[in-house]
Amino acid sequence: MSDPVFFDSLGLPKDARIGIDGLERVIPRAKNSHNLGWVSLYRNQLIQAGWSNVRILTNVENDDPELDEDEDKGPKVPESYKDLDAIIFSLGVAYSGAINYFFGVDDNVVRRFRRIQDFEGRLFVMNFDMPMIGESVASRFHNKSTSKNVQELDIAKLDSACLRTQRFDHVARTNSLCFGDSHITSVYRPGNMVSRNDGLTLYSILRDGLANKIQERTGLIPSALDEVTVYAGNIDVRHHLCRQEDPEGAVKQLAQDLCSQAAALGTRVRLVHLLPVENESRRLPKTGYYKGTPFYGSWKERSNLVDTFNAELDRMSLSAGFEVFRWPKSFLNNNQELDFEFMERPKSVHLSPQSYYWNLTNNVKNDIHQGEQK
């Protein structure tokens, strides 16, 4: 990517009242939501950087923390952003370049977009360029699912708001980076910049070169940083390694190549153990499937690969002087599986934000990790 944009370079005063909101839908409030975890991480970074008045906006008439993401779609939202100086939009962890009007351009969407067209404060968007929402609404004017109230929206005014919305990639430039796949949020700690790359395999990172991949995805040069945390490989175990002729040899090679390339980064390195494997009954969204299956290989086969990788990582890190992040033993149930209690609900492969290393709400190390890490 080109040079990253840092929020603290965009000139918003530290006493600004900031709201973080979804675009066409409310940010899920379920405490176990991976989507909420990503937004909460950015809120934590903003607070660490000196913005003290930052809140994640919610649908005030439907703020049930136990709701599943697809249920959190209440009929009403606050009518305006009048009490705020700036809005930061999160397009969601599943955003891929187009707005998903899950329920069509309904009354809820109309209310949400009307707030945007009427807001005169600063507008920002995380991680992506702002989509042209006026243009997207105009193309749906005659759909059956489109609200009759869509006429309340001023298409030109909406697109004007989108054009003045400023994208940013990180909150502040620091000397510490977490780099990895979609699991990377779980090992964040204050002071880290975070590069989340959904679907990125450890194999592809190492094939292209760890330093090269970090610079390609972040615009940052690893040797210019004081510390880099690298966390990837769970996808390799879930979908790919058991398809190899020699899975154990392949996973050992991944660990060895990771340590070798990490040693060449020219900075302090932290590596992360792979997660234990959960029970095979775990439901996954179809977006997590590969070649039509939620995983490949038995629980035992994949668990053996995790143990082999982690042991090899420990062995090589000891001589290289790397710090190794290990998951708490309490994550395991009596069958030595990753207990569903510590995972996002009701499905998905990720840990719940309640299980992250850092408690993003209270801004302290999570109790479950006390005594497990430095």
d(C-alpha 202, C-alpha 222), whole Å: 17
Identify the pLDDT of residue 195. 97
How many helices (H) and strands (E) are present in the chain, helices listed first? 9, 12
Residue with tokens 């309490």: 330
Which of 260, 241, 114, 235 lies closest to 180 in space, CA to CA? 235
Residue with tokens 């309340």: 152
Identify the pLDDT of residue 78. 62
Identify the pLDDT of residue 69. 42
Would residue 289 be called left, alpha or beta, if left means φ above 0 and alpha means ψ between -120 and 50 degrees? beta
Identify the pLDDT of residue 65. 40
In the sheet with 227-231, reading across from the earlier edge strand, the strands are 192-196, 176-180, 227-231, 268-272, 323-325
d(C-alpha 207, C-alpha 82), whole Å: 50
Instruction: For residue 28, give Cα distances in angstroms to 36, 126, 281.
Output: 6, 16, 25
Per-residue pLDDT of the chain (374 residues; tens, 9 = 90+): 678 999 999 999 999 999 999 999 999 888 889 999 999 999 999 999 999 999 999 765 444 343 444 444 444 456 689 899 999 999 999 898 889 898 899 999 999 999 999 999 999 999 999 999 999 999 999 899 999 999 999 999 999 999 999 999 999 999 999 999 999 999 999 999 999 999 999 999 999 999 999 999 999 999 999 999 999 999 999 999 999 999 999 999 999 999 999 999 999 999 999 999 999 999 888 888 999 999 999 999 999 999 999 999 999 999 999 999 999 999 999 999 999 999 998 888 999 999 999 999 899 999 999 865 54
Choose the CATH number for 7-168 among 3.30.160, 3.60.21, 3.40.50, 1.10.287.
3.40.50
Which of 208, 263, 276 lies closest to 230 in space, CA to CA? 263
Structure tokens at 285: 């969204």
Identify the pLDDT of residue 61. 41
Domain boundaries of the chain, sorted by first residue = 7-168, 176-369
- Evaluate whether 7-168 and 176-369 have a shared fold: yes
DSSP secondary structure, 165-177, as one string = PEEESBSS--SEE
CB of 16 closer than 8 Å to CB of 51: yes
> pLDDT for 181-237, tens place per residue?
999 999 999 999 999 999 999 999 999 999 999 999 999 999 999 999 999 999 999
Identify the pLDDT of residue 285. 87
> pLDDT for 138-168, tens place per residue?
999 989 999 999 999 999 999 999 999 999 9
Identify the pLDDT of residue 94. 87
**Sign (positive or negative) of CA dihedral 133, 195, 209, 240:** negative
Peptide bond preceding 346 in cis form (omega within 30 of 0): yes
Beta carbons within 8 Å of 28's beta carbon, 6+ residues apart: 35, 36, 67, 69, 72
Domain 176-369: state its class. alpha beta
